[in-house]
Structure 1
Amino acid sequence: MLSFFAFRKFSFFCTLLLVSVFNSFSQGIKGTIKSSDGEPLPYATIYVRNIETGSTSNAEGYFEYPLPAGKYDLVFQYMGYKSVVKFVEVVGGFSEVHVKLEPQTIVLRDVEIIAGKEDPAYTIMRKAIAKAKFHQNQLDSYQAEVYIKGSGRLIDSPFFLRKQMAKEGVDSTTAFVTESISRVKFTRPNTYEEEVLSIRSNGDDNNTSPMEYLKGSFYEPKLANAISPLSPKAFGYYKFEYLGTYRDQAYDYSKIRVIPRSKGDDVFEGEISIVEDYWSIHSLNLSTSYLGIQFLIHQIYNPIEDKAWLPISHQFDIEGTFFGFEFEYNYLATAKNYKIELNKDLDIELVVVDEKVEKELAKKLETQNKNVNSEVLEKMQSGKEMTRKDLKKLMREYEKMEIERDTVPNISYVTNVTVDSLAYKKDSSFWQAVRPIPLSEYEVKGYHKMDSMAVVNKKEAEGDTIKTKQGKEGFKIYDLLLGNTYKIGDKTHLEIKSSLVSLNFNTVEGYNFFYELAYTKTFENKTWLEIAPHIRYGFSINQLQSKLKATYKFDEQNLAVEGGRYVYQINPNVPIYPIINSLTTLMLESNYMKIYQKEFVRLKYSHKISDKYRIGLSAEYANRLPLENQTSHTWFNQGDKDYTSNAPANVELGPTAFLEHQAFLTGVNLTMKPWQKYYIKNNERQSINHSSPELTVAYNSAIPVGDAQISYHKLAVDVTHALDIGIRGRLSFRVGGGGFLAKDSITFLDYKHFMGNRTPIQDIDVVKSFRLLPYYNFSTNGAYVNLLTHYQFRKFFFSRFKFARKRGVKESIFANYLGTDSAQNYTELGYSIDNIFRLFRLEGVAAFQDGEYEDWGIRIGVAAFLDEMFNFE
């Protein structure tokens, strides 16, 4: 239904969330929650204290909550208002309860202000931060039943799409709606299980589900890639302001304003209330943004079994504009029937002392707790007063002990989601009975338009994500252009690859096109075989070329056999895409792509030894043939400008032309990610991007066998990584080096080639290639070192302005270096503005040799964040 949303596959948050079970009662409580002056309080919390369950009111302050017969202790809460406790008996039908809440009286405590007039908020937050790890490890496990309702609607769209979208039924008067009921369980340190019992949906959530916030915790240093106000690094990212203290339900709470030192996409802003003496979260109202899209998070916590404070209600509001589409999404979740199991090691009460304020007591405690690294459990279980520094040290030691006991290290989290076979079969009467939050007018209209998307969601939840055309639909002539996949047998599919970008142009083949098919057969134990024929025809060279590749995957291993006659770029890493070369050749008369032909057979084997180590082996016998330009065709004649030879210029070799020859090539490479972290979802491991540097060691050789005369040995080492640098920004880099150990007989094809660029278009990967480097000018048969670095600021120049931050604009600087015998310390320095219109990157760059200015240029690329969002390689 939302097929026109360009942000549909934009994955800045993961899918469906924690949700819950309610029995179908025809009785319970209903009513309204208003302020003392009669204004409805939207999404106020109703907490049933004696059975530890909860709900919320809707946008109009109305609630309707099914409960079995019995007596109930109800607590009505709303941030900024005094709680109201009511005792209600449910006998039959719905008992009406109407509540008015008074504004909370907040008082400023008598607080000792230390030298420098430090705000009292800092003492409170220092204690809360010191105890965050304690709260994070306080429970061995918990179980809960959670209900969630999500809704969203399109508010505005690009004018040229409105008519077509109206035909599809997409407008601002109806909403996407989803409701879910699940049973969830969390087991320390990182295992989350969810059993979806019922689910109802009328469309696509466009990946707006706030699952990361619900699975995570504000006690963690980061939540959904944003720095938590309770992170150990929080004081580098935030300023805090004490707003006062209030008393409610026998507890004192301090209200703190959270103020980012530098506003951006990875910080929160708003208010948080901390429970005095416990130093846990009572409630929060925080906002953050991602690429200009705003997220508002509202949570209320309650003491479960008077031992641990856990969230009982969540509210998430999401709004923004993306590619001209203005939208809003709202999610509400309520938890009930908490069952908790305390971590026996931490079943204690600690008094936290702030040594910056309570200096004398802290000095005394530090003397008592000198040997903080010994007898960790005994010290924690003593229940004595402890400075926040000592508490941090103890929790670090405790976590080290936990890691040593952990049989599977480096797992960030484990998620297992199952869907009940009857989850999609509950009718509207069931949902009316269990729904604690009445639907709005928009949501009712959305459900009236319930369509086939519910069936699609069911298939996706059950794992059926293969797109097939079969039965009556069958083959369509336009499939030859657009591509499609067909099920032709049991676990057998035939895919026609899209040929939309298969027509290209170069000076050797002239206009050329290629076509691909793929036949796939899946076997037991997740093994499969793919056979992929590939044909190519060049009109100027008047030659049909083809190759065939067969790949067999088994037990984390791949074995591939490939052979035929085909054309390849001299640099096997493909420094210029065919479509880009076509445009620069036809429009600018600049033929940068240099190609040759080979008749070959190749065997490749790869083995994923573990998440940290991969090994690859290859062997190829090839007859390699030179090619020459066959056409001077262009769209715009540049006067005296001519096409360059297909044999590129090189400062070391001079002419690079070669004769037809044979070569037997072998290679072995080892890729290592020594500190790789990953998560497990439904028993399958998934690597976490950028959690470890990637080191690749490659050894390649040519062996003179039979008619093959090429002979050399070369070694290359390459390291890539991306990491956050403090509070300032993100550093990405790629560094490599190597050379020839022996070079008895080589051609220019065997030189070390670098990723250059002479076109206005830059690669999406910011550390993949140089910006101005000629493609083959500095290729070498000697030693080399190259370094590409890119640093993205949280805030620099334009990103200081609100209008730029609101649109997700980022700024970066980059520096690249190439060192060979002939490159003369080639260096590039540049500046870029990223995420322009959420899609583009604009770069300005200058090149130098031996410190002297050489050249400059402007480059346009795709927004760098899309590289990670869409996993471009």
Structure 2
Amino acid sequence: MLSQAAMRTLRASILFLFLFLFPALLYAKGIRGTITDEAGKPLAFASIFVKQSGTGTTANENGFYEVTLDSGRYEIIYQYLGYETQVRIIEVDNDFVQVNVTLKPQATVLPTVVVQDGNEDPAYTIMRKAIAKAKYHTQQLDSYTARVYIKGAGKLKDYPWLAKRALQKEGIEKNRVYISESVSEVKYTRPNKFEEKVISIRSDGKDNNTSPNQYIFGSFYEPEIQGTISPLAPKAFSYYKYEYLGTFQDRDYEVSKIKVTPRLKGDNVVEGVINIVEGWWSIHSLDIHTTKMGIQIYIKAIYAPIDDKAWMPVSHQFRVEGKAFGFEAEFKYLATVSDYKIKLNPKLYVDNDKMEVIDEKVQKEEAKKIAANKPAPAKKSKQPDNAKLLQERLESGKEITRKELNKMMKDYEKEERKQQKEPLVISDNTFKVDSGAYKKDSTYWATVRPVPLTQEEVKGYQKSDSMAVVSRRIEEGDTLKSSKHKGFQPWDLLIGDSYKVSKHSNFKIHFPMPNFNTVEGWNLVYKVSFGSILQDTNKTRLTITPAFRYAFSRKVASGNLKFALRNNKYRFEVEGGRYIKQYNADEPILPIVNSFTTLLLEKNLMKLYERRYIDLMYRRKLSQFVTVSGTLSWNKRHELLNTSNYKWVDRKKIEGYTENRPVNVELTNTAFPDHEALIGSVRVAARPWLKYQIRNGHKQEINNSSPTITLDYNKGIHDALGSDVDFDQIELGIKHEFNIGVRGHVDVALRAGAFTNSSNMYFMDYKHFLGNKTPFATTDPVGSFRLLDYYTYSTDDKYFAGNVHYHFRRFLVTSFPLARMAGVSENVFVNYLATPGSKNYTEVGYSIDGILRLFRLEAIASFQDGKYQDYGFRIGINTSFAINFSDN
């Protein structure tokens, strides 16, 4: 029997359900039903649009739909790609109206024009008009608001058996459905401001890396959407071929069906069908497929004429699937957009019936008449108002050539950019999550969910909800702890770990990686770090990092201590101690790579010296284009000699380890006595055409939007603090990546400099270059050499270094579509060095990128004064990853 307390709770629950839920059920009303084809097969995710309310939704996988509406008379539009649109007039009274709909296959009619030898496919005229009007569509609305519902369901279909135990600990099961839902209120303000507020969310967080939001909130009227070339881009004809498949009637609109085929299959292009509304030259719907790093993305979208003024997307379907390293996963997404409220741009809006775009390439006579009848512009002493001229031109007649429209839109956008407060901001996005977003219960979701869940999704939620409770308790500090959140353990001293000390502070023990070199023998570096945010307003962060190092062969302990203070405007660092350093301060050899070459190949390539030092560094942004930094370093430098001959493999052909003194053609003896050095440097870095995107009020630079131009000055300060050095060095550099059209893109890095004074220098003060004699390419692929010795051509004189990389979309291996679809790309590069002793050193190389999506294989040959010298092979990380790493 139930206790009295339990009975009271039960009675209270029943009363609550009666008082609050029963009235809602009593007064719930609208339309519901199923959508099928003529054979009775459900049309999964068919689109339903309510014209009077601007509300869109979709059916579920079983073709069932339900829309809650107030009493009234509604025009309901039912759509499904490949089927005729059906319009129903429905009267909603005090209950749900059952409306079952059967859609017929779309009747596509080919025109009388037949493509014959020498004639152009009609698709090209249609697409030229649509492309010409794409900019108009991006500027047509001053603003709009809407509500977006997104449902995602994903599952891990397969994984390697080695990962089974780790995945099970994380609660991830094969073929289990992980589901998430969210409802957001979105607002767009021209030209580039987008605000999203998530008002409710229900998610287990297993799909964060596959979310389609960037596509949903992007626009195919823009030249690119998430790096993918749009079929409506100005340069689209270089990337795509188009084929006219016919015209179908959708209510009062004629819609042309266009097949889109990439001229070169691979990443960042689409393939499929795009439907264009005749006269409006806007998107009616699309069914396309693209790839990203081997991940397959399938997209379906349906648009509707909001207030009969602008075609906007009302439903999206996404399927994301891919395989990598034995893992196979699939995610499905459904997004519906409803409650549209649009505000037109008064400077551009004209009745669409008044503006017909003329393709002067085909409609030559019409274009001549327009040119002959166009009034001459009035002579004015000041700059014309392009916005006014455009509006007058659009309202003056029914026809305009696409070239004229393109020019007017460009002039209009240029004039608008001048008036913007921040013209270099490409996008301004704000994303917020309502404080009560995670607190909505299943009753709430049952009322707002426009698409009923399937049985498989219901089961997925039941498991996800129980796991979410555990995760939330862990985050809130509950006594429940997972193996990853169990606090400090003794073995952490050996393997490292991170700990959250407080809300704004963390502590980390770095993994103590042992390494080997001939100077120290085996050595061990033990490092910890503490970080804390001092100010929330500008995210000022303090980091303290002490490091301890022990050299077993030298039997010497050393270490340093580093303080760093940084925010988005400046960075200040102080570091000091006793430590070893490579002669090249850019440290071209990784310790782990040097350990490999030394112990297994008997090549001790890393050359080291010891210094007692204090380093100061300050860097500050003077403006959004210019950054200035300065360093001041006091050093007491000491030469080191080899102390260990230990090796794992004794190669008889090699006489033994070389001494710890770099070999150089300009300085015959690189040995040096103990000395002191005070060195200062100043760097000015300018990116004059830099562009930004704003995310929640924080500016983020857009990579490669501007070349980086640097000017460096280094000074060896003589007789100050006992300093023995005296030199002056100046260097100018430029680095940039730019597209050269459909065939690929180019990376360029150029550096030129000279020592105007070299009165007293030691070898570590020379200008060194990023060479490489190991089998691995670990430095910046654009800006480094592959076969060059690390110190042979270091100089205290004039120098020039240049690196040019050409990335092909199609070359040799990538001539095969399967290779491109697997993410493989090819590069050809040239590296050049000019110093007094380098004899025009040149490297010519070829590389295959994206092997297993991660690796790069290079083949290189070197020349001096045009004469062949050497060849070699290198293994590295995929260039796209490596460049990103080097920029951080």
> TM-score, normalization: structure 1?
0.93
Structure 1 residue 538: Cα displacement: 0.6
What SS class does the counterpart of residue 429 from structure 1 fall into? helix
Identify which of 393, 396, 400 aligns with 1:386.
Answer: 400
Structure 1 residue 808: Cα displacement: 1.3
Identify which of 634, 642, 648 aligns with 2:647.
Answer: 634
What SS class does the counterpart of residue 99 from structure 2 fall into? strand
CA pair 188-452 structure 1, distance change in 2 beyond 3 A = farther
Measure the CA separation in 2 of the matches of 1:859 and 1:455: 49
Residue-by-residue CA offset, 1:806-827 (whole Å, 9 max, x unaligned)? 3211111111111111111111
Measure the CA separation in 1 of the matches of 2:685 and 2:834: 24
Identity of aligned residues (%): 47
Task: Decide which moves more: 764-773 or 425-434.
Answer: 764-773
1:514 aligns with 2:525: yes
Residue-by-residue CA offset, 1:375-414 (whole Å, 9 max, x unaligned)? 3443234344111111101011101111111110111101
Measure the CA separation in 2 of the matches of 1:371 and 1:825: 59
Residue-by-residue CA offset, 1:426-458 (whole Å, 9 max, x unaligned)? 111211222121223332222111257747998
What SS class does the counterpart of residue 65 from structure 1 fall into? strand
1:545 aligns with 2:558: yes
Measure the CA separation in 1 of the matches of 2:884 and 2:604: 32
Measure the CA separation in 1 of the matches of 2:619 and 2:50: 58
Identify which of 673, 678, 692 aligns with 2:687.
Answer: 673
Partner of 2:83: 81
Measure the CA separation in 1 of the matches of 2:30 and 2:89: 13
In structure 1, list runs of 5 or more residues that go unmatched: 1-22
Equivalent residues in 2 for 1:286-305 (5 A)? 286-305=288-307
Structure 1 residue 62: Cα displacement: 2.1
Measure the CA separation in 2 of the matches of 1:658 and 1:455: 65
Which amino acid is the alignment partner of residue 793 of structure 1?
A: F
What SS class does the counterpart of residue 437 from structure 2 fall into? coil
In angstroms, what is the RMSD of aligned CA positions?
A: 2.4
1:753 aligns with 2:768: yes
Task: Decide which moves more: 255-264 or 448-457.
Answer: 448-457
1:796 aligns with 2:811: yes
What SS class does the counterpart of residue 137 from structure 2 fall into? helix
Which amino acid is the alignment partner of residue 873 of structure 2?
A: I
Which amino acid is the alignment partner of residue 823 of structure 2?
A: G
Equivalent residues in 2 for 1:580-599 (5 A)? 580-599=593-612
Measure the CA separation in 2 of the matches of 1:611 and 1:460: 41
Measure the CA separation in 2 of the matches of 1:650 and 1:856: 21
Measure the CA separation in 1 of the matches of 2:167 and 2:485: 27
Partner of 1:691: 705
Partner of 2:186: 184
Measure the CA separation in 1 of the matches of 2:502 and 2:288: 53
Structure 1 residue 226: Cα displacement: 1.1
Structure 1 residue 473: Cα displacement: 3.3
Measure the CA separation in 2 of the matches of 1:449 and 1:198: 20
Identify which of 781, 796, 800 aligns with 1:781.
Answer: 796
What SS class does the counterpart of residue 667 from structure 1 fall into? strand
Identify which of 359, 364, 371 aligns with 2:364.
Answer: 359
Identify which of 651, 656, 663 aligns with 2:665.
Answer: 651
Given that residues 133 and 281 in structure 2 are in contact (C-alpha distance below 8 angstroms), is that contact kept between their aligned partners in structure 1? yes
Structure 1 residue 94: Cα displacement: 3.5
Residue-by-residue CA offset, 1:798-853 (whole Å, 9 max, x unaligned)? 22223322321111111111111111111111111111111111111111111111
Which amino acid is the alignment partner of residue 372 of structure 2?
A: T
CA pair 571-341 structure 1, distance change in 2 beyond 3 A = same
What SS class does the counterpart of residue 134 from structure 1 fall into? helix
Measure the CA separation in 1 of the matches of 2:256 and 2:485: 66
Residue-by-residue CA offset, 1:103-156 (whole Å, 9 max, x unaligned)? 111111234869821001111111111111001100000000111101111111
Structure 1 residue 248: Cα displacement: 1.4
Partner of 1:63: 65
Given that residues 30 and 63 in structure 1 are in contact (C-alpha distance below 8 angstroms), is that contact kept between their aligned partners in structure 2? yes
What SS class does the counterpart of residue 776 from structure 2 fall into? coil
Partner of 1:421: 435
Residue-by-residue CA offset, 1:251-274 (whole Å, 9 max, x unaligned)? 111111111111111211111111
Structure 1 residue 555: Cα displacement: 6.7
Structure 1 residue 163: Cα displacement: 4.8
CA pair 56-178 structure 1, distance change in 2 beyond 3 A = same
Which amino acid is the alignment partner of residue 496 of structure 1?
A: I
Measure the CA separation in 2 of the matches of 1:814 and 1:456: 53
Measure the CA separation in 2 of the matches of 1:829 and 1:170: 47
What SS class does the counterpart of residue 438 from structure 2 fall into? coil
Task: Decide which moves more: 583-592 or 477-486.
Answer: 477-486
Partner of 2:334: 332
Equivalent residues in 2 for 1:732-747 (5 A)? 732-747=747-762
CA pair 503-330 structure 1, distance change in 2 beyond 3 A = same
Measure the CA separation in 2 of the matches of 1:445 and 1:532: 48
Structure 1 residue 210: Cα displacement: 1.2
> TM-score, normalization: structure 2?
0.91
Given that residues 736 and 749 in structure 2 are in contact (C-alpha distance below 8 angstroms), is that contact kept between their aligned partners in structure 1? yes
Partner of 2:489: 476
What SS class does the counterpart of residue 634 from structure 1 fall into? coil
Partner of 1:149: 151
Given that residues 40 and 61 in structure 1 are in contact (C-alpha distance below 8 angstroms), is that contact kept between their aligned partners in structure 2? yes
Partner of 2:696: 682
CA pair 490-422 structure 1, distance change in 2 beyond 3 A = closer
Partner of 1:310: 312
What SS class does the counterpart of residue 579 from structure 1 fall into? helix
Measure the CA separation in 2 of the matches of 1:145 and 1:230: 26
Measure the CA separation in 2 of the matches of 1:807 and 1:643: 43
Measure the CA separation in 2 of the matches of 1:140 and 1:573: 50
Measure the CA separation in 2 of the matches of 1:291 and 1:236: 22
Given that residues 756 and 774 in structure 1 are in contact (C-alpha distance below 8 angstroms), is that contact kept between their aligned partners in structure 2? yes
1:607 aligns with 2:620: yes
Measure the CA separation in 1 of the matches of 2:559 and 2:525: 9
Which amino acid is the alignment partner of residue 506 of structure 1?
A: N
Structure 1 residue 752: Cα displacement: 0.4
Partner of 1:16: none
Which structure: larger Rg? 2
Structure 1 residue 764: Cα displacement: 6.0
Partner of 2:717: 703
Measure the CA separation in 1 of the matches of 2:544 and 2:584: 26
CA pair 735-280 structure 1, distance change in 2 beyond 3 A = same
CA pair 170-141 structure 1, distance change in 2 beyond 3 A = same
Higher RCO structure, 1 or 2 (CA under 8 Å, sep 6+): 1
Measure the CA separation in 2 of the matches of 1:605 and 1:343: 47
Measure the CA separation in 2 of the matches of 1:622 and 1:718: 27
In structure 2, list runs of 5 or more residues that go unmatched: 1-23, 378-383
Measure the CA separation in 1 of the matches of 2:474 and 2:194: 20
Structure 1 residue 206: Cα displacement: 4.1
Measure the CA separation in 2 of the matches of 1:796 and 1:478: 51
CA pair 282-260 structure 1, distance change in 2 beyond 3 A = same
Partner of 1:401: 415
Partner of 1:243: 245
Given that residues 780 and 886 in structure 2 are in contact (C-alpha distance below 8 angstroms), is that contact kept between their aligned partners in structure 1? no
Structure 1 residue 88: Cα displacement: 2.7
CA pair 249-452 structure 1, distance change in 2 beyond 3 A = same
Given that residues 288 and 296 in structure 1 are in contact (C-alpha distance below 8 angstroms), is that contact kept between their aligned partners in structure 2? yes
Residue-by-residue CA offset, 1:142-175 (whole Å, 9 max, x unaligned)? 0001111011111111132235434544233311
CA pair 425-352 structure 1, distance change in 2 beyond 3 A = same
Identify which of 459, 462, 481 aligns with 1:448.
Answer: 462
Given that residues 588 and 779 in structure 2 are in contact (C-alpha distance below 8 angstroms), is that contact kept between their aligned partners in structure 1? no
